[in-house]
Structure 1
């Protein structure tokens, strides 16, 4: 099939590459000219295990090319960001913009799949937005049995660092606006997914993704709240959790600096926004995890005041270990807050070559051996490069991720 993947970020590019390696002809679309040029050179603009090798291969085989605009295709897969606005209102502007672009090249029989994490009902909205652009076509929300276009939702559920593997091996949830839409989408995913392809309707598929990430958020919030309790009680939270997890039916996660990434730090707010009266536990978990970076910042500042030293080295900037993704990263927030408070901050982040624009002129990116000369060091992300620091012998380092526990 001819497939058009719209959005070539952390999900879109791996998805496009996997599809291209599975026998499909793929055009990847992105609004960033640099991204398009980089991919067409057989290179990548993000860090993901083995993605560089796969992209180089499929570009050389002419199975994948990048473009600024969608082209006529059999399938369109939308993988654009879905952030939130002020007041945690979901921002669907990117999906709406993608709909407007792909509508221009839609033809009868085409399949449109939304993979972007979205509030319940977004797939239905996508169908309506497309119909506003193409009044000559019949869409599934208009006629459930005789639509010209098939529309479905299939959320990604992959782990950064293992995306290529999990795109193929993980089970997928596929929900169409109509049963015919679901079956059409199932055919596509069965062409490259080795895991189970589980069928449902669009609204349920949308809710599944939000619930999966909200469940993780609640579990992490419990661990982060335990770290606050233990700090007050002068108890090692990592030892506490290790001992508690010896219970055969207890599996507490590890606390950290908060929760980052575009999924777990964002998706629960979609449920809270739409179901304000019902999503009480989900909202409280979000508030606990969003407050953890403030707690970490206060601990770092307290150490700096005791030492009477305004210079601080922060180890790690990504939202989780061993990736380059800084989206919604607690570490970025902590560093920004320390700078706002007047501290001189240096950062070690082995997975990036330069600091994000928001930090570029306010702090410096340094090597680990240089950071270890600082009196006040905060370990914010458990990258593999930091695992041999012998923290028990290094009282200069405040460990907020339990790297040796």
Structure 2
């Protein structure tokens, strides 16, 4: 059964590129998002996120009539759900996954489902989320059958296929990377492979839904543990007066050692989030994964303490100055280099805490943002030259190319990425 019309629910950093790739292969694609601004922007042939090459693909797809965006689902042959999976807003020591976005997306597409359709959950999710989505769909459409009830004979096929792409390289990696396909039945998997082979040149590897869910969580948890080692090492080295970047460079000369680089913490919609899905499901077993999360989540606080120390050093050097006359520049707000994505950004958390120190002026430099939409009270978005020239303390939080290509600024520098040597 061919897929003539494909619907992508959620037009963010994964959904929009995915929709664009299908549309670039001359498939009719309906993108759905609750954000009216995003919908309007896409329908003008423009994009509301920063991702290299995506603007040209979207413009061509919209101009040629293969891609349109709307706020309400329409009938299609395949539905890909790519909505957020945040945490519930509670004070639990172990964050609890919030599947409400997936539930709302399921309930939104349910009225337009028909026999022969394929529904794929792309959202990174805790183990069991795909089965839960199928239950929500079944409850909303009792006139249709689903795999959990009738197996291979289901009217609607359901699968999980997590994205595995790097921000800044999404367009290329969507095409080239292998995909893990986890169908609720063999037929569900086969149909999902058929769909993705529309544009995927990498191998589509078949497994079951639960293993596919766990595969994505495992990949990012492994990365989180490795980063936690580097971050913990940086704290140890600071206490022992050792250059951690030199140390790692020396250690990595061993043929079987590859230590990652430390930083101000871990951010983004994957590595900072996904390990908690494992911990929340198996809190008594996931001890190492849990500890890595605690190490990485504590790093922003450690950086703020370094900034406090820098303020004290500055006032000792200039005893006639007051705290209200101190200017601090923070370089980078995104969660990683050369993108505009602020989700779960440790840099944002650090700047927010610095803004509460009641110093004179807080400047923020983020070359990938045209405007500072996420307002931090008391923080002024400015450019690199102004910050370099006017700040007393310089806090390097993200190793954007613009920062790496500029000279070390005068004044006290707190370098969390080691770019100034």
TM tier, shorter chain?
over 0.9
2:191 corresponds to 1:184: yes
Residue in structure 2 matching 1:236, options 243, 246, 249: 243
TM-score, structure 1 as length reference: 0.98
Pair 394,388 (structure 1): closer, same or farther in 2 beyond 3 Å:
farther
CA distance in 2, matches of 1:365, 1:275: 42
Q: How many residues align?
A: 403
CA distance in 1, matches of 2:405, 2:15: 35
2:32 corresponds to 1:29: yes
2:384 corresponds to 1:368: yes
**Residue aligning to 2:331:** 315
**Residue aligning to 2:403:** 386
Please, which moves more after superposition, 319-328 or 142-151? 142-151
CA distance in 2, matches of 1:142, 1:388: 59
Residue in structure 2 matching 1:347, options 359, 364, 370: 364
Residue ranges of structure 2 left out of the alignment (5+ in a row):
316-322
CA distance in 2, matches of 1:277, 1:329: 28
2:221 corresponds to 1:214: yes
2:152 corresponds to 1:145: yes
CA distance in 2, matches of 1:312, 1:365: 12
2:209 corresponds to 1:202: yes
CA distance in 2, matches of 1:214, 1:276: 14
Deviation at 1:396, TM superposition (A): 2.8
Q: Deviations over 1:29-62 (max 9, x none)?
A: 0001111000000000000001111110000000
Deviation at 1:236, TM superposition (A): 0.2
**Residue aligning to 1:396:** 412
**Residue aligning to 2:11:** 8
**Residue aligning to 1:40:** 43
Q: Deviations over 1:288-329 (max 9, x none)?
A: 000000111110111012212432100000000000000000
Residue ranges of structure 1 left out of the alignment (5+ in a row):
none
Deviation at 1:190, TM superposition (A): 1.4
Question: Which residues of 2 match residues 1-400 of structure 1 at below 5 A?
Answer: 1-85=4-88, 86=90, 87=92, 88-308=95-315, 309=323, 310-343=326-359, 344-359=361-376, 361-373=377-389, 374-391=391-408, 394=410, 396-400=412-416
Deviation at 1:285, TM superposition (A): 0.3
TM-score, structure 2 as length reference: 0.94
Deviation at 1:390, TM superposition (A): 3.2
8 Å contact kept, 2:19–2:31? yes
Deviation at 1:404, TM superposition (A): 4.7
Deviation at 1:234, TM superposition (A): 0.2
8 Å contact kept, 2:168–2:339? yes
Deviation at 1:394, TM superposition (A): 4.3
CA distance in 2, matches of 1:225, 1:304: 24
Secondary structure at the residue paired with 2:7? strand
**Residue aligning to 2:319:** none
Secondary structure at the residue paired with 2:152? coil
CA distance in 2, matches of 1:108, 1:71: 15
8 Å contact kept, 2:394–2:411? no
Deviation at 1:269, TM superposition (A): 0.3
Secondary structure at the residue paired with 2:181? strand
Please, which moves more after superposition, 304-313 or 16-25? 304-313
Q: Which runs of 4+ in 1 moved over 4 A?
A: none
Deviation at 1:224, TM superposition (A): 0.2
Secondary structure at the residue paired with 1:223? helix
Deviation at 1:287, TM superposition (A): 0.3
Q: Deviations over 1:76-121 (max 9, x none)?
A: 0000000111220000000000000000100000000000000000
CA distance in 2, matches of 1:64, 1:114: 20
| CA RMSD, Structure 1 to Structure 2 (Å) | 1.1
Deviation at 1:379, TM superposition (A): 0.6
